């Protein structure tokens, strides 16, 4: 008989999954082949899930948008002997970052009880606004950019020109970038990696205060799992980038005007989020090969307890040794 709620920290099982994906894909750092690095991560992740005691189903897979290798939606994962869980995966978030040796490529898994993760269906893109706990009550997706930045700065005890905004460097953001600059805030432009961007916006000890702009809808659900644990907020609205996507959403009954909150995207407090750095970056170190093994850096988050754990692990041929684990309340 299946239990309905996990009682132990399954995040510590999931971190072995993201570590395996990161270790496999890191061999493709800077080699210019997006699909090869992604496939290595997918294969390692799928194999590692075979040892996790969950009755899991992939509700957000990866690869469908860009025809990369995938852990497909509806795929059963885990041993089948544990709690019934929805699983969202991105074996390599930032395949271009990995292929060209750029920072902030990560391997990511989020998990929550069955039926509690938002199903993006045919939605590939979502407008997002992610902020830390202190600013969660002062943002409005329909407010002018300058007003949101002014309110965020006040909530964080800063001036607007102290703020750093994470924005994906895409043609669709030309207007947004202009508005941020006119408001006086600073900008970090990134080619890819909006899960990492959302994490940087809500976690302490990063250089980012807020994330704005349109990115992937599946990545939005993944990020929402982490944001829920730390008490931040992400407002989102489906933002189709083609007439075909817009029509598919309307035909499937999605409301394109609805503003989604973190609680809409993740409807359970019993959520887990795990990420392991692949290329290294602002908040997670990358895979470092030592000659006799490798070192990985991971983030493990559990919603029920609000625990955020950073783990540095040494890997060798026949064993894994965890040498550093730090909890943040």
Instruction: Provide the token pair at 32.
Output: 């210019």
Average pLDDT value for residue range 138-151 = 98
Average pLDDT value for residue range 83-111 = 96
What is the overall mean pLDDT for the chain?
91
User: How high is the pLDDT of residue 72?
Assistant: 84
Instruction: Provide the token pair at 204.
Output: 């302490």
Residue range 125-265 in CATH 3.90.1010.10 = no
Instruction: Provide the token pair at 160.
Output: 């607007």
User: How high is the pLDDT of residue 65?
Assistant: 43
Quick one: CA torsion of 38, 40, 46, 49, rounded to 10 degrees? -110
DSSP 152-217: HHHHHT--GGG-EEEEE--GGGHHHHHHHHHHT-EEEEESS-HHHHHHHHHSSSSS--EEEEEEEH
CB-CB contact of 199 with 283 (8 Å): yes
Burial of 317 (0-12, 13-18, 19+ CB in 10 A): exposed
Domain ranges of the chain: 10-116+271-321, 125-265
pLDDT in tens, 251-305: 999 999 999 999 999 999 999 999 999 998 888 999 999 988 999 999 999 999 9
Average pLDDT value for residue range 111-126 = 95
User: How high is the pLDDT of residue 3?
Assistant: 47
| CB neighbourhood size of 174 (10 A) | 10
Residues flagged as binding site: 38, 62, 90, 93-95, 125, 170-172, 192-194, 216, 219
Residue 104 CA from chain centroid, whole number: 11
Whether 308 shows a pLDDT value over 70: the answer reads yes
User: How high is the pLDDT of residue 291?
Assistant: 83
User: How high is the pLDDT of residue 325?
Assistant: 53
User: How high is the pLDDT of residue 7?
Assistant: 61
pLDDT in tens, 32-90: 999 999 999 999 999 999 999 999 999 998 544 444 446 888 889 999 999 999 999 99
The H or E element spanning position 106 is strand 106-113
Overall CATH class of domain 10-116+271-321: alpha beta
Residues flagged as binding site for substrate: 93-95, 125, 170-172, 192-194, 216
Residues flagged as binding site for Mn(2+): 38, 62, 90, 93, 219
Whether 322 shows a pLDDT value over 60: the answer reads no
pLDDT in tens, 176-208: 999 999 999 999 999 999 999 999 999 988 999
pLDDT in tens, 207-259: 999 999 999 999 999 999 999 999 999 999 999 999 999 999 999 999 999 99
User: How high is the pLDDT of residue 264?
Assistant: 97
In terms of pLDDT, which residue wins out, 113 or 70? 113
């Amino acid at each position: 008989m299946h239990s309905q709620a996990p009682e132990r920290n399954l995040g510590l099982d999931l971190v072995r999954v993201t570590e395996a994906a990161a270790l496999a894909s890191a061999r493709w750092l800077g080699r210019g082949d997006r699909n090869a690095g992604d496939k290595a991560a997918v294969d390692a992740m799928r194999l590692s899930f075979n040892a996790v005691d969950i009755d899991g189903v992939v509700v957000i897979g990866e690869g469908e948008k860009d025809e990369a290798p995938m852990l497909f939606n509806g795929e059963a994962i885990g041993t089948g002997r544990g709690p019934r869980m929805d699983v969202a995966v991105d074996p390599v978030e930032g395949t271009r970052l990995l292929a060209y040796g750029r920072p902030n490529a990560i391997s990511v898994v989020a998990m929550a009880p069955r039926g509690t993760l938002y199903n993006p269906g045919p939605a590939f893109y979502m407008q997002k606004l992610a902020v830390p706990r202190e600013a969660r009550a002062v943002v409005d997706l329909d407010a002018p950019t300058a007003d949101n930045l002014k309110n965020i700065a006040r909530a964080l005890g800063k001036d607007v020109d102290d703020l750093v905004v994470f924005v994906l460097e895409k043609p669709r953001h030309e207007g947004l970038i202009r508005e941020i600059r006119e408001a006086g805030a600073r900008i970090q432009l990134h080619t890819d990696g909006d899960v990492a961007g959302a994490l940087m916006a809500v976690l302490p000890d990063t250089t980012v205060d807020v994330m704005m702009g349109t990115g992937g809808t599946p990545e939005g659900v993944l990020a929402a799992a982490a944001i829920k644990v730390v008490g931040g907020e992400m407002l989102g609205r489906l933002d189709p980038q083609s007439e075909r996507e817009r029509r598919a959403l309307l035909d499937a009954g999605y409301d394109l005007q609805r503003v989604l909150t973190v609680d809409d995207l993740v409807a359970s407090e019993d959520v887990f989020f795990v990420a392991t750095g692949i290329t290294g970056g602002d908040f997670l170190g990358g895979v470092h090969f030592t000659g006799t093994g490798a070192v990985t850096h991971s983030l493990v988050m559990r919603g029920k307890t609000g625990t955020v754990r950073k783990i540095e692990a040494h890997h060798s041929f026949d064993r894994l040794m965890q040498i550093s684990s730090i909890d943040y309340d």
